């Protein structure tokens, strides 16, 4: 079976979900629906290290690849997710090539990077360290988020950083940081997304996008985007619950 990182790089179209409910049950419910991957939201949801490990375990029970959005690009933000067994990380707010290179280094063992060796869950709690060390550098996915004016300006340099696999666009943050909000801001936001996508694809990187709704996917695919995160578990639950109650009240 082709590993998850190879499928992302190919790039194969992939549909994933954010998991923001900080509990393994939410992950199991999402995993049971058969997404291509899950992404635990360690940037915006209250997921501590121990809970992240339980959530990763829940995804793996269903053989669904799982990555974690970490709080930043430095090793102390990234090590815990990988040692807990995540298949990769999504790193927010990468605005320069130096920050992208720091993220690459944090996800790779020496001599390529600076990741520290630990007998964590990923390495069978020490039992499988040699196997894990031999394969981790080539298996771990690194997706970085382009969501700031700096990323837009520096995308030529960022997209050529070796070891970055996916450039993931955060349209919410990009819109806010560019001051491109609402219908009036749409042309500016679209121009920014188009530039990031075209430059990144020309550099051979896969491009990802957050979509609040699956209806957005087709349009982005036509632009060359393949790696999608469609909403999050909390929002899907709220939408379904809200719709059920409204429907019941209609009689
Ligand atoms: C954004 O839209 O800015 C995101 O980061 C999606 O989670």
Task: Assess: ipTM above 0.95.
Answer: yes
- pLDDT in the model for residue 148: 98
What single-letter DSSP state applies at residue 66?
A: E
- Phi, psi (deg, nearest 5) at residue 192: -65, -45
Decide: 147 in ligand 1 pocket, CB within 6 A.
yes
| All domains of the chain in start order, with CATH | 4-250 (3.20.20.60)
Residue 3, both tokens = 């590993």
- pLDDT in the model for residue 231: 97
Decide: 171 in ligand 1 pocket, CB within 6 A.
yes
Q: Which residue puts its alpha carbon closest to atom 4 of ligand 1?
A: 170
129 C-alpha to center of ligand 1: Å? 35
Measured between its terminal Cα atoms, the distance across the chain in Å is 49
Rounded Cα–Cα distance for residues 251 and 233 (Å) = 27
- pLDDT in the model for residue 2: 74
Low-confidence ranges of the chain (pLDDT < 70): 1
Taken in order 216, 196, 11, 55, the sign of the CA dihedral is negative
Would you call 44 a catalytic residue per the annotation?
yes
Q: Which residue puts its alpha carbon closest to atom 5 of ligand 1?
A: 170
- pLDDT in the model for residue 251: 74
Are 143 and 81 in contact by the 8 Å Cβ rule? The answer is no
- pLDDT in the model for residue 116: 97
- pLDDT in the model for residue 74: 96
- pLDDT in the model for residue 107: 98
Rounded Cα–Cα distance for residues 149 and 52 (Å) = 31
Are 219 and 180 in contact by the 8 Å Cβ rule? The answer is no
pLDDT tens for 192-223 read: 999 999 999 999 999 999 999 999 999 999 99
- pLDDT in the model for residue 15: 98
């Amino acid at each position: 079976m082709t590993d998850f990182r190879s499928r992302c790089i190919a790039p194969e179209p992939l549909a994933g979900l954010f998991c923001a409910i900080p509990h393994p049950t939410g992950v199991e419910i999402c995993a049971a629906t058969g997404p291509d991957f899950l992404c635990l939201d360690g940037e915006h949801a209250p997921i501590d290290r121990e809970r992240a490990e339980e959530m990763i375990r829940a995804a793996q029970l269903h053989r669904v690849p799982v990555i974690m959005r970490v709080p930043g690009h430095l090793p102390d933000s990234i090590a815990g997710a990988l040692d807990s067994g995540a298949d990769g990380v999504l790193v927010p707010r990468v605005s320069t090539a130096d920050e992208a290179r720091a993220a690459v280094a944090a996800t790779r063992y020496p001599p390529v990077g600076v990741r520290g060796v630990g007998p964590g869950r990923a390495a069978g709690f020490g039992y499988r360290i040699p196997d894990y060390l031999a394969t981790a550098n080539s298996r771990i996915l690194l997706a970085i988020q382009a969501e700031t004016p700096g990323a837009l300006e520096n995308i030529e340099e960022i997209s050529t950083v070796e070891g970055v696999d996916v450039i993931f666009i955060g349209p919410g943050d990009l819109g806010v940081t560019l001051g491109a909000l609402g219908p009036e801001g749409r042309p500016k936001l679209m121009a920014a997304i188009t530039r990031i996508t075209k430059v990144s694809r020309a550099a051979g990187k896969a491009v990802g996008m957050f979509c609040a709704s699956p209806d957005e996917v087709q349009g982005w695919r036509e632009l060359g985007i393949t790696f999608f995160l469609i909403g999050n578990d909390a929002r899907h639950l709220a939408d379904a619950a809200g719709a059920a109650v409204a429907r019941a009240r209609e009689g």
